[in-house]
Amino acid sequence: MVLSLSSIVASFSSFIFCFTILLHSSSFGAEARYSPITPISSLISKSLFDSIFLHKDDSACPAKNFYTYESFIQASKCFPAFGATDSLTTRKREIAAFLAQISHETTGGWATAPDGPYAWGLCFKEEVSPQSDYCDSTNKEWPCYPGKSYKGRGPIQLSWNYNYGPAGKALGFDGLRNPEIVTNSSLVAFRTSLWFWMTERKPKPSCHSVMIGKYVPTQADIAANRTAGFGLVTNIINGGLECGLSDDGRVNDRIGYFERYAGLFNVDTGPNLDCAYQKSF
């Protein structure tokens, strides 16, 4: 097969882009037992991806045909430690946890939905009826651009100027002036979600470090009962609203997705699924 010049240029540009991300990633080269011989696509095939997200391309979903398997795999190449660290069980569990969290963030399911409520992830690509423009005007490092909304967008529902700014800087787009790109490009959308998952933002650890067993709690974490597990990942993502509450429906929804996906990957979920007794960061 003879590659066209444009294909070669595109492939080289993608390589340079991802390599730049890796050079600036705090996790690059830092994870023990990283396994580069097991690409994500060998752990989650397109058929498995489609069986997880049974209804993402239904006409009822505003994000119909937006979240593609190919974009997910391509985005993961910029974060090679994702789903590739430690044992096979750990790698599968991390992928299941990531997909569960983004499914809750983008769900279109309901209690009596066809195939159950946990078959409806990746149905939305942006927040519906946001209550504000999510601009923290006190943040001077990542100042809001006039007229822009930093509402939830993409698989992780990236929100607030202090997340859009650094995500854009890391991934090569202007997150403050052009936040809409997260809903205009499936590849950028998945990259932002993986950036959020893989990046430590002190005092929060990365979701990745928690799921691969590398989280080391500080004294403040111990005092706040922030124990390792899927519940701590929920705390990192939205603990201010969901953690420290008994039997919270949003937390239970995240757990429901995780339990379904862990079953599809044939792994256990591990302990500490909720964050009911954790203080938020």
Q: Which residues are catalytic?
A: 105
**CA 248 – CA 235 distance, rounded (Å):** 13
The position carrying tokens 């992780």 is 156
Phi, psi of 152 (to 5 degrees): -65, 130
Cβ proximity of 122 and 101 under 8 Å? no
**CA 100 – CA 234 distance, rounded (Å):** 10
Cβ proximity of 211 and 264 under 8 Å? no
| Dihedral class, residue 250 (left if φ above 0, else alpha if ψ from -120 to 50, else beta) | alpha
